[in-house]
C-alpha cells in the first residue's frame, strides 16, 4: 500500500485543516452544542465544493476518491466540526453511484441536507444521527432504497445526548421516492454504510490525535513535586500508547479506504475493523488526556471534555463498537449461524 499522498490530496488536507481551524474553534463548538449544528460552518463547507469531492465530474463533483474524503474527515474530527460530514458525503456518493442526478444536484449545494438512515429496521424506529437538521434521508426498506423527505413536525431540537449531536427520530408516513430496487439497491447501500464506517473511523482518528496533543501540552506545563507531570510514567506511558494506537487506527482506516476503492473482497471487513479500532482508540486517548487534567478535565472551561464526550457519541451514534466486532467476525468467517452448522457437522452432531 502506497501511503504517499498526491499534491492534490495534500492540498485538500491543507485547505480543510485551515477551514476547520478558523471556523471550528472550541468557542464555536461550544456555541453549536444546543442545536448540534454550526450553520455558518456548513455554508462555508458546502461552498468549497466539499460535498462533491467524492463525486465524478460529469455529475457535478470534484472527481476525488474516498481517500480525499478521509483526509477531510480527519481534519473535521481534529476540530470537532459540528456538521454532518460523514453521512452527507456517503449519501452524495450513493446517489452518484446510482445515477440519481436529479436528487444529487441540489444535495451538492448543501441544501437540502441529505443523510443516511444507518440503523437497522424501519426509518421511523431509528434515531437518525442528523435527524434534527437533515432535510431528507436515504433509507433501505427490504429491497427498495428510498429518498424520504423530512416529515412535517419532525423535531428540530436534538434528542438529549452526551455528544451534543443532532439526533432525532422521524415519524414517517410517506414511503418516499424510490431510488433503486432489488439486489442493486442493497449492494449500493451496503457500500455506502462501509464508507460511513471508514469516514467515521477517520474522524475519530483525528479526534484522538488532537486529544493526545491537548493532554501532552497540559502534561508539560502542569507541575507536581517540582517537575512537569509528563515526567511521570503513569502519565507519559499511556500517552505514548495512545499515539501508537492512533497511528495504527489511521493506517487501518487508510487501508480500508484503499480496499473499498479497489473493490477487494476484504474491504467490508477492513471497514468494520477500522471503525471498531478507531472508536476504541479515540475513547482511550480522550479518557487518558482528560485524566491527565485531573478534576479540571471534567469542567466546561477545559476543551478536553469536548473531545471526551464526542469520542463516545460519534462512535455509538453509528453502532456499538463492541458489537461491530461481530460484524468483523461475520465478514471474515461467515455468519454465526452458518459457522455453527459447520462446527456441528465437523463434530458429528449435525
CATH number at residue 317: 1.20.140.10
User: CA-to-CA distance for 327 and 119, rounded, in angstroms?
Assistant: 14
**pLDDT digits 0-9 by tens, 303-323:** 999 999 999 999 999 999 999
Specify if 334 maps to a domain: yes
Question: 321 is in which domain, residue-wise?
Answer: 194-342
Q: What is the pLDDT of residue 4?
A: 87
- How many domains does the structure of the chain reveal? 1
Q: What is the pLDDT of residue 115?
A: 96
In this structure, what are the phi and psi dihedrals at residue 138, rounded to the nearest 5 degrees?
A: -95, 120
Specify if 183 maps to a domain: no
Residue scoring higher pLDDT (254 or 175): 254
What rounded mean pLDDT belongs to the chain? 93
Specify if 309 maps to a domain: yes
User: CA-to-CA distance for 236 and 224, rounded, in angstroms?
Assistant: 14
Classified as helix, coil or strand, 349 is coil
Specify if 175 maps to a domain: no
Q: What is the pLDDT of residue 59?
A: 96
Q: Has residue 347 got a pLDDT over 60?
A: no
Closest of 111, 138, 129, 110 to residue 50, by C-alpha: 110
Specify if 227 maps to a domain: yes
Q: What is the pLDDT of residue 142?
A: 84
Q: What is the pLDDT of residue 341?
A: 46
Stretch 138-162: mean pLDDT, rounded? 94
Specify if 178 maps to a domain: no
Q: Has residue 340 got a pLDDT over 70?
A: no
Q: What is the pLDDT of residue 337?
A: 65
Q: Has residue 325 got a pLDDT over 90?
A: yes
Neighbours of 119 (CB within 10 A): 16
Predicted confidence band of residue 345 (pLDDT cuts 50, 70, 90): very low
Stretch 102-107: mean pLDDT, rounded? 97
Q: Has residue 344 got a pLDDT over 60?
A: no
Specify if 20 maps to a domain: no
Stretch 250-276: mean pLDDT, rounded? 97
Specify if 34 maps to a domain: no
**pLDDT digits 0-9 by tens, 182-193:** 999 999 999 999
Q: What is the pLDDT of residue 121?
A: 81
Q: Has residue 136 got a pLDDT over 70?
A: yes
Amino acid at each position: 500500500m502506497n501511503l504517499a499522498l498526491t499534491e492534490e490530496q495534500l492540498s485538500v488536507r491543507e485547505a480543510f485543516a485551515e477551514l476547520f481551524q478558523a471556523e471550528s474553534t472550541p468557542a464555536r463548538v461550544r456555541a453549536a452544542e444546543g442545536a448540534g449544528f454550526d450553520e455558518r460552518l456548513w455554508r462555508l463547507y458546502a461552498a468549497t465544493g466539499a460535498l462533491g469531492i467524492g463525486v465524478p465530474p460529469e455529475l457535478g463533483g470534484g472527481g476525488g476518491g474516498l481517500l480525499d474524503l478521509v483526509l477531510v474527515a480527519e481534519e473535521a474530527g481534529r476540530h470537532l466540526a459540528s456538521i454532518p460530514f460523514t453521512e452527507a458525503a456517503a449519501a452524495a456518493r450513493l446517489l452518484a453511484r446510482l445515477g440519481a442526478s436529479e436528487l444529487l444536484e441540489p444535495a451538492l449545494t448543501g441544501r437540502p441536507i441529505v443523510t443516511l438512515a444507518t440503523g437497522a429496521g424501519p426509518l421511523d424506529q431509528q434515531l437518525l444521527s442528523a435527524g434534527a437538521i437533515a432535510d431528507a434521508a436515504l433509507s433501505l426498506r427490504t429491497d427498495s432504497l428510498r429518498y424520504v423527505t423530512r416529515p412535517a413536525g419532525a423535531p428540530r431540537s436534538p434528542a438529549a445526548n452526551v455528544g451534543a449531536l443532532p439526533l432525532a427520530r422521524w415519524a414517517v408516513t410517506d414511503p418516499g421516492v424510490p431510488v433503486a430496487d432489488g439486489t442493486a439497491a442493497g449492494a449500493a447501500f451496503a457500500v455506502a454504510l462501509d464508507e460511513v464506517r471508514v469516514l467515521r473511523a477517520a474522524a475519530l482518528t483525528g479526534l484522538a490525535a488532537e486529544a493526545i496533543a491537548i493532554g501532552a501540552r497540559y502534561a508539560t506545563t502542569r507541575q507536581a513535586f517540582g517537575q512537569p507531570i509528563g515526567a511521570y510514567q503513569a502519565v507519559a506511558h499511556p500517552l505514548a500508547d495512545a499515539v501508537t494506537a492512533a497511528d495504527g487506527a489511521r493506517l487501518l482506516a487508510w487501508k480500508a479506504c484503499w480496499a473499498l476503492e479497489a473493490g477487494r473482497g476484504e474491504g467490508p471487513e477492513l471497514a468494520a475493523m477500522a471503525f471498531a479500532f478507531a472508536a476504541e482508540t479515540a475513547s482511550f486517548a480522550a479518557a487518558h488526556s482528560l485524566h491527565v487534567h485531573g478534576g479540571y478535565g471534567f469542567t466546561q472551561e477545559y476543551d478536553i471534555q469536548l473531545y471526551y464526550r464526542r469520542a463516545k457519541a460519534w462512535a455509538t451514534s453509528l453502532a456499538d463498537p463492541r458489537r461491530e466486532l461481530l460484524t468483523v467476525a461475520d465478514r471474515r468467517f461467515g455468519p454465526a449461524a452458518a459457522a455453527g452448522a459447520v462446527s456441528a457437522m465437523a463434530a458429528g452432531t449435525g
